[in-house]
Chain A
């Protein structure tokens, strides 16, 4: 179910995608022939061709809007707070390296990621944002990762929550403003009513830290978010928090780019394919201790 936006979902982009695929495959084969030992090298060989094809992005400095509150994906480096680190940061820089641009970072709230992009204050958003039809009205997405959510609860799971289901009836769920989990929890309201149980309530915050604090302070019973984020929170507070369960969410994580720049979208997509072909994507998943099952070949999600 969670694959509804991937390859089999849309004829609207299949031509472009398959064309790119072929080009990428060709590039990969070339790379394999010419530099068989460079699979994990910094700039895959196919990137040179892309830089020739898309010279307009070469040597540019682009702005990446991020919500740097998700350790493992994007957060400041505790050892050097002037740097942002994480899987998304590395992936973005690998794509930038492939196309010849560098990135600077603009930290905004989660809800402001796409408005910042739309207003031109940022060029790209690589910030663990799920590509939904709704969000695709504001930006084009290049999806690159499957989504597994974890259900964070207080140690011992006092409310016996087993997932986004009627076990959440009457519970208080902390979420960030704009998160896809918000409508999923809201969708439980009629189910709970039908079952004669109290409705779940939502508490909206601005970042992960606040959601986690809400559980630690006893204000919220659960926080459903990316499983890695949940694992990190449990690791930081092993005697107070636990992961009740991991659930599948029917979305993909995507890189957001402006709707009015299709050449940039296609260039990023092509570069991502190169990065994946070079093995960099999987290497980065391993580096940041993320589940290799997250890996997903890229697609474009674009709606009018």
Chain B
């Protein structure tokens, strides 16, 4: 026992820790850099890069670290690259860690909800901005446990550097054991030192996890405020208690929202007639799109004028969502043309196809807002940041202006008191209202709503429809809504277009089509929908 304590406190062994930590740090740091490159290559649009990265992974994940260490130490000097022992060990460990770290990074990136990426794209974020503001912050949180694991394994793997004369803990222990013959005392001592080091890694991991936990309130989560995406004004932060308060019934959440104005049929007709003379906001001509064999859009023509509200109706799979996504250029099409505000999307002036980055900038400048069926709020950001963030990042607003705009919009959708809540603490209806506020924030010329109430529980549908109704009636916003809410379409839309099999089979003034459909498919669909939805229709 006294021998054990003697070796545990022996400066010779304690100094060995430095070498162990140095090799581990080189391996992890280098592995992280190399892993980032590998992950980026694998996720890239260019197949050659992905193949190269895959080849690297096969070689360095598939050969033992001890061979890689000996190679870096003894073979590289043959080609004139003579690294120090620590350098060679660090290089080998980095080369070995890189594929594992790359896979972690890739899993983290792919694990981020695809809908949030779509929403970010729809808001005009470039791929780099999406990575920095939306994907990375969420991916990093999920990767911390894996990274902790990787650190512990790298720390233990650094002991293999003993074969290439790095004076780390294991080499020092074996040398000491050879000269003193106190085999067990020495190895128990160095084992305990390793245990302390790996425990330290675990503690740091838990600390970082805690610090980045979004559900923790600001005073305890001090680290989080140093992250660029979390630099939220502390004074405006609401208390956790408020954030997690149970959702009140929808109508009590809309105190400042007046009851919908009764709009008479004649008013509606007048509105429709007035809109007809307005400029064209969206023009879709001859749009075709196939997914492999399957035709999704089969020659769609649609013109929407400024201030007009068009409801897209039709069975699931009829192409409504795809049409909306094409209007926002979230999807490519095979032939046809989409013009928004007179600008042809997806092509530069000389007709060439645009890069993803250029498309993002185009989206931001053309101004098409989009609301998704699944809300797709950025789940690591508060309601306010969901609205204000894109204003700052995409449109270059100041923090004060963006926050003011967010507050104003959240007020309009009746959620100013939940500005500091995370999406996961909001009901579906509340989330969709935040999503609408987010889409409205940059003042889009057109708002696309893709089945905005389909994912909601029936009792939450109305609060969202109310918000949309007000946008249409009070604000005169140009909107294209795909919906299954027939009654709602009748009340809000100037015009409905009925899609079936990828083309518009019937379109015209809303009330006329809905009450007196001409096409048999339209009639059939409407009768089914009326029968199903009647009890839930809006008042």
Q: A119-B74, A119-B78 are in contact. Are A76 and B164 (CB under 8 A)?
A: no
- Chain A residue with the shortest CB-CB distance to B12: A81
Write out the residue numbers on chain B whose beta carbons fall within 8 Å of the beta carbon of A69.
174-175, 178-179
> Bound complex: CA of A59 vs CA of B488, how far in Å?
94
Within 8 Å CB of A27, what residues of B?
Answer: none
Whether the Cβ atoms of B167 and A70 lie closer than 8 Å is no
With both chains docked as a complex, state the minimum distance between the C-beta of B88 and any C-beta of chain A, in angstroms.
Answer: 9
Contact with A along B48-82 (1 / 0, CB 8 A): 00000000000000000000001001110110001
By the criterion of a CB under 8 Å from any partner CB, how many residues of chain B are at the interface?
26
The majority secondary structure among interface residues of chain B is helix
With A69-B178, A107-B165, A109-B163 known as contacts, the answer to whether A213 contacts B77 (CB < 8 A) is no
User: Does A116 count as interface, using CB distance less than 8 angstroms?
Assistant: yes
Contact B70 A81 (CB under 8 A): no
Most-contacted residue by chain A among B74, B77, B85, B167 (CB, 10 A): B74
Whether A106 contacts B165 by the Cβ 8 Å rule is yes
Contacts of B39 in A (CB 8 A): none
Q: Does A82 contact B (CB under 8 A)?
A: yes
Chain A minimum-CB-distance residue to B172:
A81
B73 touches A121 (CB 8 A): yes
Instruction: Convert A133-173 into 0s and 1s, putting 1 for each residue whose CB lies closer than 8 angstroms to a CB of B.
Output: 00000000000000000000000000000000000000000
Number of A positions contacting B (CB below 8 A): 32
**C-alpha gap A106/B75 in the complex (Å):** 17
A81-B12, A81-B172, A107-B171 given; A209·B178 CB < 8 A: yes
Taking CB atoms, residues of chain A closer than 8 Å to B171 are 107
Q: In the complex, which residue of chain A has the Cβ closest to the Cβ of B83?
A: A121
Q: Does A237 contact B (CB under 8 A)?
A: yes
Query: Measured between alpha carbons, how far is A70 from B73 in the docked complex, in Å?
Result: 24
Q: Which chain A residue shows the least CB distance to B177? A: A209
B181 within 8 A of A: yes
Contact check, A77 vs B85: say whether CB atoms are below 8 A apart.
no
Residues of B close to A194: CB separation below 8 A? none
Taking a contact as CB atoms closer than 8 A, the residue among B13, B164, B172, B180 that contacts A78 in the complex is B180
Q: Which residue of B lies closest to A105 (CB)?
A: B165
Q: Is the CB of B175 within 8 A of A107?
A: yes
Pair B163/A121 contact, Cβ less than 8 Å: no
What chain A residues lie within 8 Å of B82 (beta carbons)?
120-121
Rounded to whole angstroms, the CA-CA distance of A12 and B240 in the bound complex is 89
Q: Which of B74, B164, B172, B175 has the most CB of A within 10 A?
A: B175
Interchain CA distance A109-B183 in the complex, whole Å:
18
**Interface-centre pick from B10, B70, B75, B165 (highest chain A CB count, 10 A):** B165
Determine if B176 is an interface residue (Cβ-Cβ < 8 Å): yes
Kindly identify which residue among A75, A106, A212 contacts B175, using a CB–CB cutoff of 8 Å: A75
CA distance A206 to B174 in the complex (A): 10
Report the minimum CB–CB distance from B9 to chain A (whole Å).
Answer: 13
Complex Cα gap A209–B178 (Å): 5
**8 Å CB contact of A115 from B74, B174, B177, B183:** B74
The one of B73, B163, B178 in contact with A71, judged by C-beta atoms closer than 8 angstroms, is B178
Q: Could you tell me if A208 and B165 are in contact, using CB atoms closer than 8 angstroms?
A: no
**Shortest Cβ gap from B1 to chain A (Å):** 19
Q: How far is the CA of A112 from the CA of B88 in the complex (A)?
A: 15
Q: Can you name 17 extra interface pairs (CB under 8 A) apart from A76-B179, A209-B181?
A: A65-B165, A68-B179, A69-B179, A75-B175, A76-B175, A78-B176, A81-B10, A81-B172, A82-B12, A106-B165, A108-B164, A115-B74, A116-B73, A118-B74, A120-B77, A207-B174, A213-B183
Q: 8 tightest CB-CB pairs across the interface, nearest first?
A: A81-B12, A69-B178, A75-B179, A236-B181, A119-B74, A209-B178, A209-B177, A119-B77
Can you list 18 A-B contacts (CB < 8 A)?
A: A69-B178, A77-B179, A78-B176, A81-B10, A81-B12, A81-B176, A107-B171, A107-B175, A108-B165, A109-B163, A112-B70, A112-B74, A112-B163, A119-B77, A120-B82, A121-B73, A121-B74, A210-B174
